[in-house]
Structure 1
Amino acid sequence: MSRFRRADWLDLGLRQLGKAGFDGLTLETLCRASGRTRGSFYHHFKDMKTFVHALVEIWAERQTEAVIAKAEAAEPGARGAALQAAVGGLDQGLELAIRLAARRDPVFAAAQARVDRRRLDYLAALIAEERGLVPDTARRMAETEYAALVGSGLLFPGEAPRSLFDLRVPA
């Protein structure tokens, strides 16, 4: 049997959270799903709190920082399209599970708030850059876009996120 690494526990935790929600994120459930013992878990994590902190950090990295990096790798003027393509690949079930967990757990709530700010800040800067808008207008547009994105995930679970980014406001 191969060694179950820290990254394997975190991958499993994200899958479990996306599949079963906050209540499915227990040590017993994780051990059963991994076929590993509590000792294996505790070899990598001091306790569940440490695990949850690491879990929200890997979620933020994969579902926010990696997405922004993909957009930033595109040429100026094409970053909005690159962002939209990258957002289309996000795990919407996991996004919903994180939002629901944030309503019940302060660690998830703090991570969700931090990620929402990061996403909104990036989107506002991108809208300002690509559309030549003043920061306040770009921020309002970013908030509307992000609200539509989050809302579409709630209204149309399992579908690719819907975006307003490509809609152009007539001059």
Structure 2
Amino acid sequence: MTLAVQSPVAGKTVPMSEVPDPVFAQAMVGPGLAVQPSGEGRQTAVAPVDGTVVTLHPHAFVVQGEDGRGVLVHLGIDTVKQKGEGFTLHVVKGEEVRAGQPLVEWDPSEVAKAGYSPIVPVVALDANPDALSALLTGADVAPGDAIFVWED
């Protein structure tokens, strides 16, 4: 089964290897792409796929499809240290969501001002890197644009 994974935020796609965190850069939790957010002010991160919100923190969430595949979105690096400050949740854990649905409001420029990278890793959890194709590296994307395809 083919799953098109969408960008949760507006920005420019970059290879996961450029994420300033070894867990993501070395694809320890899974392969994917990252998005360097663009624009100023508060933005809304949207669901990358249809499914259920199985993990929800102010700075990160996982949406799991009916087929069991989960996509992790991490809003910035080390943003857990912000203890939720500046993040507004629009969903609850266990909620069914559609791709493109608003999940979390945040401000990448505030993350940067706090001394953290606002880059957004989008991870195909526990996927084989060979299962991903059509990785849209170096592209300007809007929320909801497909950034890679995950083959089952």
Q: Same fold (TM over 0.5)?
A: no
Higher normalized strand content (fraction of residues): 2
- Whose Rg is larger? 1
Q: Structure 2 length normalisation: TM-score?
A: 0.27
When normalised by structure 1's length, the TM-score is 0.25
